[in-house]
Amino acid sequence: MGFSLLLVTLIIGHLVSDFFLQPMSWVNDRNTHHFKAKKLYLHILVHGVVSAVILALWEYSYGWQQLSTVLLSTAAIMLSHYLIDIAKSYSNKGVVPFLLDQIAHIAVIIALCIYITDNQSLIAYVSALATNPKILWVVCGYLIILSPSAVFIRMMLERLTANFSSEGSLPLAGQSIGMIERVLMLSFILLDQFAGLGFLLAAKSVFRFGDLSASKDKKLTEYVMLGTLLSVSVTLFVGLGVNSLIR
C-alpha cells in the first residue's frame, strides 16, 4: 500500500503543479527565455513545495521518518523537472515533445518511489509482463492495426479507386481517424464487447451520413464505404487471431 499511495499522490501532485498551478504565461515565458525565464524557477518551486508536502506526509506515516529522505527526494524532483523542462523549451512544441516530457517526469517519480520504499515488486511485475507471450501478442495486434494496416488499406484503396481525389479534407485526417477507429475496435474485440463495436460503426455512419448526402458524390460514398469495410475487416481478422492465441 505504501508504494502505491506514494506513487499516486506524487503523480497527482505533478499533474496539479504542471497543469493547474502553471498559467500559460509561465509556459510562454519558459519557451521564450529558456533557462533565463524567471517563471520557470517559480514553477519549479511550486513543484518542490507540493512534492515536499506529499513526501513529508508519506515519510512520517509509512516511512522511516527521516527528514533527509524528504529533502533529497524533493531536490531530485525539482532538479529533474528543471532539466526536463529546459530540454522541452528547445523543442518544436509538438505532441511528441509533450508526451516525452510527461513520460520523463512520471519515470522519475516511479524510480524515486521504488528507491524510497525499497519496493522491487514493481520491477518484477514489469519484467513478468514483458516476458508474457499473451501480453506480447496483444502488443503485436495493436502494432499491426496501426501503421501496417494503414499502409495496406491505402494501397487497396489506391488500387480500387484510381483517379479519385480526396481534396478538401485535412492532410492525413483519414489515416489518423482510421487508426483511432481500429484501436477502439480492437479493444472492443479483445474485451469481447462486440456491442461496442456495433455502436462505434453506427456512430461513424451517423456522422458520415450528412457529409455523404450533402456531397451527392457516388465516388466519395464508395470510397468511404470501402475504407470502412477494409478497416473493419483487417481489425476483425487481427482481433480474432489475437484472441485465439491468448486463450
pLDDT tens sequence for the chain (247 residues): 688 899 999 999 999 999 999 999 999 999 999 999 999 999 999 999 999 999 999 999 988 889 999 999 999 999 999 999 999 999 988 889 999 999 999 999 999 998 898 776 777 777 888 899 999 999 999 999 998 998 888 888 877 666 655 555 555 667 788 889 999 999 999 999 988 888 888 877 776 655 555 555 566 677 777 888 899 999 999 999 999 999 8
Exposure string for 182-199, b = 16+ CB within 10 A, e = fewer: beebbbbbbeeeeeebee
d(CA 39, CA 205): 48
CA 230 vs CA 46, 47, 226: distances in Å: 50, 48, 6
Phi, psi of 90 (to 5 degrees): -95, 5
Residue 65's contacts (CB-CB under 8 Å, 6 or more residues apart) are 59
Q: What is the pTM of this model?
A: 0.79
Cα–Cα–Cα angle for 91, 96, 97, nearest 5°?
30
